[in-house]
Structure 1
Amino acid sequence: MSDHRTEPTFDPQGLPEGASAEEREVAEAANQAETAQQLAQLQAELQSLQARNTELSEQHLRAQAEVLNTRRRADEEMSKARKFAVESFAESLLPVADSLEAGLAIQDATPEQIREGAEATLRQLRTVLERNKVLEINPAAGSKFDPHQHQAISMVPAPGQEANTVVAVLQKGYSIAERVLRPALVTVAAPQ
């Protein structure tokens, strides 16, 4: 014996074939209500996303404005720092200028007094330079030539001295905060 079961067929509204008109109307109304509910949910979700998008756009604009303001403030601070750094350095040089003027004001100064005054003024100037991080570059004879801090004027024969070492300093160099302002001018031992 064979068991033939027939599966019911359904129309596009999900109703079994042969459903009455009333069942079809109820199903249609339920379908429309469900569609309206889904549409309302989607519209609410769209409004929520639009509000979030507006909020994020405003946050982005505020962040951009803050970055621009920060950059502008940093530029102003750098400008002020440069201006006041020069002002501070100039202010610290004024006592040196005063000492030079005072020395020149003495009409009957002896050579010894002039020398003492010049030495005192030089000490004062060196103190001002050191306080402002301007340091001498004065390599010792026999030290290794450093192209970052020294400028070789010439190479000279130097018996008993290694090649590429400083023989003599012709002019001291200076650096400020580990940056070379002026390299020391030196003569260098030639290879033998």
Structure 2
Amino acid sequence: MKFLKTVMIFSIGLVVSSCSFSKENNQNFDVENKNITNGAIAREKVAKCKFEQGYVDFCSDNYLKIYNNALSQKVNFAQNKVALVFDKERDTGKGIPRKVKYFIVLDPTTRKVYPLDQYVGYFVDDQLEEIASEPPVVKFSQNNNKVCFSGTIFSYQDNNINVENECYLFNSNDKNFFKKTQKDKK
């Protein structure tokens, strides 16, 4: 009888412990399988994932992987930042898809990512066809916080055809992060 009581108490203890410490309650005690990403860039660190009428999700897993790989790059913008230029195809579903360049600033210290909502495509002719011999140009320097585009600029409400040196100043303390400046002369 004493043995039967011991087995019953042990069985009840197992049932109670399995309910209290189940993995369904997010209590994972398996230390080896924990995914620790100290210092990695996560979605929360991207200033803006998508822009109005945007065609790129800057918070996608693919982009997060690119940002994290870029953390080891040498700084090349605004003295202590990393500038990234992505080539993409902009397909609005109307007309011919356009090849464009996106500009993104990565702060290796804070691990924040700042995409610019403007992007630049090829220069176009009077029929708005891309001129293959005149690709878009993105200019920036390690010595200052200015980025300049030459080509056809696309944005939700600010498209500009065949511009030279349309520039933006980056400031991580400004709520919009990028401010359009006067056009630079060649």
Q: TM-score, normalised by structure 1?
A: 0.25
Q: Which has the larger radius of gyration?
A: 1
The structure that is strand-richer by fraction is: 2
The structure that is helix-richer by fraction is: 1
